Structure 1
Amino acid sequence: MPDVPDAAGPPEIRAAGKRRIWFWAVLIAVGGFLFGFDTGVISGALLFIKTDFHLSAFEQGSVVSVLVLGAMVGALAAGRLADRIGRRRLIGLEGVVFLIGTLIAVLSTEYWMLVAARAVLGLAVGAASATVPPYLSEISLKEFRGRVLALNQLMITVGILVAYVINLVFAGSGNWRAMIGAGAVPALLMVVSSLWILPESPTWLATRGGRGGTHGRPGGGETVERVVELREEESREEAPQDRELRTGWRVLLNEAVRPSLAVGLVLAAAQQFGGINTIIYYAPTIIERTGLTASNAIFYSIAIGVINLAATVVALRLIDRAGRRALLVFSYAAMAVTMALLGLSIVSDWHPVVTLVFMVLYIAGYAVGAGPVFWTMIGEVFPPQAGAVGSGASTAVNWVSNFIVSLAFLSVVHAIGEGQTFWIFAVVSGLALLFSARFVPETKDRDYSAIDADLRARFGRPPPAGG
């Protein structure tokens, strides 16, 4: 657990309270772990599933991409559900759905059952990906909010790495059911945490009469009571036009929210069209084409997972120091260059180790910026009233983009070539670099009023009346 200095945050919240916030954050981010696990585990399992079920290329793509289709629906539903029943209850519900999807997958005897299982898992993955960032943002303090939010991406990368390791463990026997079934353990932890450990979001409580909802909640106590007070103080300091924002999905139509929404949606699409999940989903398949066996391909893909995790840890250390925007700009520059070189290595038929090196460097570039900063931004860039639905909309676009890329990737590779496809991803990363440099605000150590002022300046909008 990261060490939080005693001086961080308001003095009314003591060091023990800050440590408790980090403990809650780790449990909440188990949703991120399962996001990573269930998207990563299929990469190794697919090598054996395609043989057992005699899957065509399209059927293999559908087993991968149907999870993403379910995640789109889950992400869209999560915003309204989070505002209606609260973040804590929704985390528990998501854990139950994870358990159901895992059980169906393990018991699958036909292709359609596996597709159904992956769709159910997708609902849970999408809902968790939309719920975790605002929940983490709302329980934390702005002085270390970046690290708390980056914990989500850290847990996603840990989930991917654990999936790769489990794939390797069972590769010898080809037991893909055990690979997928391991996800039941963290899903159960989500359910238990929501029932007996996690407090409700202080921001959600503050919008529903304040601290009364914390009484009787295990683990809440005076830490949540004080954070609720801080949220109420922030609410009283909001500009009048911010307090008058409409609720529900309609809030996204408000003129004041549009710059935030533009940043959230563009970063959501750019993260996926930059090509990250073609590497995560298909790394073993890509490496296997160089002549390695399935087990060796899975083994080398673990190197990708380790680099992904290590670079994310670096981002966790830097995000509250260097700031979000600097990491994002550096990341997209690195992704554009390394993806272009990866494509060149494949087109030129360079040694497989060179291809692996560029793949690893691309992952490192992504993990130090574009990965964690997107999930951090959607927890910070929206006004408090639009936090859950803004995160849900951004996450849904992220999953729509993910779906398009994962479904089309193998077909595009077949049509124009693998290296040429990676060049397309390099161009997208270059465009994302330009957008980030021009329109993305810095959110480090800022409350929403300062973020909004920066957004308005970048998008050429006048300051609010009386602001």
Structure 2
Amino acid sequence: MSYAYSHPDPHVEGPMHRVPEEGMRKIWGWAVLIAVGGFLFGFDTGVVSGALLFIKPEFHLNALEQGSVVSVLLLGAMAGALTAGRVADRLGRKMTFGLEGVVFLVGTAMAVFATGYPMLLVARVVLGLAVGAASAIVPVYLSEISPPSIRGRTLTLNQLLITVGILVAYGVNLTFAGAENWRAMFACGAVPALLMVVAALWMLPESPSWLASRGRTREARKVIASVTDDETAELLLERWNRREEEDEKSRPKQSGWHLLKTVDLRPALVVGLTLAAVQQFGGINTIIYYAPTLMQSTGLNASNSIFYSIAIGVINLVMTVVSIRLVDRAGRRPLLLGSLAGMAITLGLLGLAFVLDLPSWLALVAMVLYIAAFAAGMGPTFWVIIGEIFPPRARAAGSSASTTVNWMSNFIVSLVFLTVVNAIGEGQTFWIFALVCVFAVWFVMKYVPETKNRDVDKIDADMQVRFGRRPASGEAARRG
């Protein structure tokens, strides 16, 4: 039997350090199915852009009602992300994933058969609940079924499927635009939602670390052995049991949200929440909002916004693929630092183009480079980091908290952007986003550990050192 080693250094301890190639293929199959949750995240946030063109005249929507149909999904997503961690800790990752598929189906059906604005609004809230829950749980699930060597790539797969979902949504919009069939646009989301339910019932395993934490050792051993062997499964379970015993001694009867309040987990929580806010306050959604305007200013025909959305989606997708190829080679910190630096520079140039009324092609180039920089680093790597920095007992709650802040930040930026632009100007607003990215470069350099090929104990030790809670020594002293 040939083996794929999950860590290039055999002396570095890590879970499932030796996985057969057949086992790796099985894990990748699971990862693709789990990432369907990310696909629906992208699809349901993107499909409304085309559907709204035809919903507006049919339901006679005014400007406020149109805006609410789009933005109410963000409120639902906040609620979904906030509650998903607790549900996943209680019911398990697999069942929660299947329930998310059911909620997607219900929301899709409500949207397809909506008879007016109120029903459509409720449908978008329900879809938001599913989107938020999926955004919180998919990274956790992916992290817990992946060995270290491919953990970065499987977690980045979530962002890849989000971008694919957005791109497919634009393609679906284009397909049904001629017939003005917005109901068919929404209906296409039922196919991946049904796949989530089927996968949870018959194709996916439960997270072995969740099973072990619930005392279901035999089931956990069976899942691990299905991709490695009995000996590796036993060793890994012994490590998990030791960690659980140590956690019980230091933090008895604490788990999930309560565990996040402890001093030891404060560094991980600060990193997760800060990166979640930065990903949105770095201006990504506002840049996409300005894309058609900037393209039109270059002399291009911007009458068909769907075509331009597809072009942006392709750039986003291509650079996310680049990130997948680099995340387990270059590491998380280099991608974050390079991405944030690129975002700061391009935002600075974009602001300058507005303030000094520079040639429009410069603004267009800056915008395209900004999207590329975001997609190659900050976009996908945030989801990787939040899947790795929290210990197993707090992973779902930590991801839930971080994702909730991410959606809240998205909502705040969307809400106040135009107000700020009207008050200080477009260029100055983009400079504020640039300053956020500069702050983020400093924050990552000082506080974010390298998580590549490291287990949770080594990641935590590095974070404790970075936050000044423990003296630097040995592995903990390394700053990646």
Shift of the alpha carbon at 1:283?
4.4
Long gaps (5+) in structure 2: 8-15
Say which SS state the counterpart of residue 13 (structure 1) adopts: strand
Contact 1:161-1:306 at 8 Å conserved across structures = yes
Shift of the alpha carbon at 1:228?
5.5
Give the whole-Å Cα distance in 2 for the aligned partners of 1:177 and 1:286: 31
Q: In the superposition, relative to structure 1, how do residues 413 and 127 fare at CA in structure 2: closer, same or farther (>3 Å)?
A: same
Shift of the alpha carbon at 1:105?
1.4
Once the two structures are superposed, residues 171-196 of structure 1 have per-residue CA deviations (whole angstroms, 9 ceiling, x without a partner) of 33433332222211111110110011
Once the two structures are superposed, the pairs formed by residues 39-438 of structure 1 within 5 Å of their partners are: 39-213=45-219, 222-223=226-227, 229=234, 231-238=236-243, 242-243=247-248, 244-245=250-251, 246-280=254-288, 283-284=291-292, 296-348=304-356, 353-438=361-446
Q: In the superposition, relative to structure 1, how do residues 67 and 141 fare at CA in structure 2: closer, same or farther (>3 Å)?
A: same
Give the whole-Å Cα distance in 2 for the aligned partners of 1:79 and 1:411: 34
Contact 2:333-2:450 at 8 Å conserved across structures = yes
Q: Which moved more, 1:38-47 or 1:415-424?
A: 415-424
Give the whole-Å Cα distance in 2 for the aligned partners of 1:300 and 1:308: 12
Q: Which moved more, 1:81-90 or 1:241-250?
A: 241-250
Say which SS state the counterpart of residue 149 (structure 2) adopts: coil
In structure 1, what is the equivalent of residue 466 of structure 2?
458
Q: In the superposition, relative to structure 1, how do residues 383 and 220 fare at CA in structure 2: closer, same or farther (>3 Å)?
A: closer
In the alignment, residue 166 of structure 2 is paired with which amino acid?
I
Say which SS state the counterpart of residue 152 (structure 1) adopts: helix
Give the whole-Å Cα distance in 2 for the aligned partners of 1:53 and 1:294: 26
Once the two structures are superposed, residues 122-160 of structure 1 have per-residue CA deviations (whole angstroms, 9 ceiling, x without a partner) of 000000011111111110111221111111111111111
Contact 2:73-2:128 at 8 Å conserved across structures = yes
Say which SS state the counterpart of residue 6 (structure 1) adopts: strand
Give the whole-Å Cα distance in 2 for the aligned partners of 1:44 and 1:325: 37
Once the two structures are superposed, residues 203-248 of structure 1 have per-residue CA deviations (whole angstroms, 9 ceiling, x without a partner) of 1111122443369x9x987228857545423324539754433213
Number of residues of Structure 1 aligned to a counterpart in Structure 2: 460
Contact 1:47-1:294 at 8 Å conserved across structures = no
Shift of the alpha carbon at 1:378?
0.6
Contact 2:294-2:363 at 8 Å conserved across structures = no
Once the two structures are superposed, residues 430-456 of structure 1 have per-residue CA deviations (whole angstroms, 9 ceiling, x without a partner) of 211211111111111111121111111
In structure 1, what is the equivalent of residue 10 of structure 2?
none
Q: Which moved more, 1:100-109 or 1:417-426?
A: 417-426
- Scaled by the length of structure 1, the TM-score of the pair is 0.90
Give the whole-Å Cα distance in 2 for the aligned partners of 1:220 and 1:461: 34
Shift of the alpha carbon at 1:87?
0.5
Q: Which moved more, 1:13-22 or 1:236-245?
A: 236-245
In the alignment, residue 73 of structure 1 is paired with which amino acid?
A
In the alignment, residue 282 of structure 2 is paired with which amino acid?
G
Q: In the superposition, relative to structure 1, how do residues 347 and 64 fare at CA in structure 2: closer, same or farther (>3 Å)?
A: farther
Contact 2:315-2:372 at 8 Å conserved across structures = yes
Once the two structures are superposed, residues 259-303 of structure 1 have per-residue CA deviations (whole angstroms, 9 ceiling, x without a partner) of 000000000000011111234566457757888777622112211
Contact 2:212-2:220 at 8 Å conserved across structures = no
Contact 1:44-1:284 at 8 Å conserved across structures = no
Shift of the alpha carbon at 1:22?
0.5
Give the whole-Å Cα distance in 2 for the aligned partners of 1:302 and 1:57: 24
Say which SS state the counterpart of residue 144 (structure 1) adopts: helix
Give the whole-Å Cα distance in 2 for the aligned partners of 1:67 and 1:222: 39
Contact 1:72-1:399 at 8 Å conserved across structures = yes
Long gaps (5+) in structure 1: none
Q: In the superposition, relative to structure 1, how do residues 293 and 41 fare at CA in structure 2: closer, same or farther (>3 Å)?
A: farther
Shift of the alpha carbon at 1:404?
1.1
- Scaled by the length of structure 2, the TM-score of the pair is 0.88
Q: In the superposition, relative to structure 1, how do residues 320 and 48 fare at CA in structure 2: closer, same or farther (>3 Å)?
A: same
CA-based RMSD of the aligned residues comes to 2.8
Q: In the superposition, relative to structure 1, how do residues 105 and 286 fare at CA in structure 2: closer, same or farther (>3 Å)?
A: farther
Q: Which runs of 4+ in 1 moved over 6 A?
A: 288-294
Q: In the superposition, relative to structure 1, how do residues 48 and 284 fare at CA in structure 2: closer, same or farther (>3 Å)?
A: farther
Give the whole-Å Cα distance in 2 for the aligned partners of 1:118 and 1:284: 25
Give the whole-Å Cα distance in 1 for the aligned partners of 2:273 and 2:157: 21
Q: Which moved more, 1:398-407 or 1:88-97?
A: 398-407
Give the whole-Å Cα distance in 1 for the aligned partners of 2:241 and 2:166: 42
Give the whole-Å Cα distance in 2 for the aligned partners of 1:423 and 1:133: 31
Shift of the alpha carbon at 1:401?
0.6
Contact 2:5-2:149 at 8 Å conserved across structures = no
Give the whole-Å Cα distance in 2 for the aligned partners of 1:463 and 1:149: 31
Q: In the superposition, relative to structure 1, how do residues 171 and 362 fare at CA in structure 2: closer, same or farther (>3 Å)?
A: farther
In the alignment, residue 25 of structure 1 is paired with which amino acid?
A
Q: In the superposition, relative to structure 1, how do residues 44 and 319 fare at CA in structure 2: closer, same or farther (>3 Å)?
A: same
In the alignment, residue 182 of structure 1 is paired with which amino acid?
C
Q: In the superposition, relative to structure 1, how do residues 424 and 289 fare at CA in structure 2: closer, same or farther (>3 Å)?
A: same
